[in-house]
Amino acid sequence: MSNALFDLTGKVALVTGATHGLGMAMAEGLGNAGAKLVITGHSSQEKLDSAVAALRDKGLDAHGYLFDVTEEAVVADMVGLIEQEQGPIDVLVNNAGIIRRVPLLEMELSEWNKVIETNLTGVFTMTRPVARRMIERGAGKIINICSMMSELGRDSVSAYAAAKGGLKMLTRNMATEWARHNVQVNGIGPGYFATSQTAPIRVDGHPFNEFILSRTPAGRWGNPEDLQGTAVFLASEASNFVTGQIVYVDGGILATIGKPGNE
């Protein structure tokens, strides 16, 4: 099999919410495969500039744009500007998202709405102007970042799980409508990963750390780099007949009711 199947040289890849963590790791993987990177953030120009500089320090062609994926008119304008300045968007990774850990009976409607708006509606508003252009060109790759919560429930993350479950089905419907235009739409469902956000609970003796290690057949937390291969595959010609699928990168959690050997 030729490595050309996975070569993204000459492609423009836009990754939303990629100023840190898993989004930045996936952007780096796409860049290492040859893509020109466009990353977005919405909270801080300084944070966005720092992320772009970090990617450039690794020899990658990276550019940053600051906007909120839920603001439909702004998104449409920014997509036009990005294509004007950087070239046609060949790959879109919808990674931007938030989580609120609040029990359902205690959650304010405004908190619920914000999670749904960012994690589900934001994918709708971000994707449509990009997809229209992909359809006109007759090619494109869209990758929606789902979650194990697209399949499983868990205490205190009901809004997040509802959004990610909806995103799984939105992914399949996008795939259904756009496959005839040679636009493939798939999802990645990360498991539990070692990031700065999970650092406080990944210490020896912490109950949640012990739970994840005992629940994951691979026996470890994921490293952000573990997502790069899947992202490159779904962004490349290697996945030209793959659409509507959710690939779970979780060390085997969803495959089992318990880690082997822990009976």
Residues that are catalytic: 160
Residue with tokens 């060949």: 90
Please count the CA atoms within 13 angstroms of the CA of 67 that sit on its side-chain side: 22
Q: Is there a contact between 21 and 47 (Cβ–Cβ < 8 Å)? A: no
**H or E segment at 39?**
strand 36-41
CA distances in angstroms from 220 to 113, 183, 217, 247, listed in the order given: 34, 35, 8, 19
Strands 36-41 and 12-15: parallel
Helices (H), 33-157: 45-57, 72-86, 109-116, 122-137
Q: How far apart are CA 34 and CA 27, in angstroms?
A: 11
Q: Indicate the residue type of 173.
A: N
Judged on CB neighbours under 10 Å (0-12, 13-18, 19+), 242 is middle
Query: 27 by DSSP, 3-state: which?
Result: helix
Q: Is there a contact between 242 and 212 (Cβ–Cβ < 8 Å)? A: no
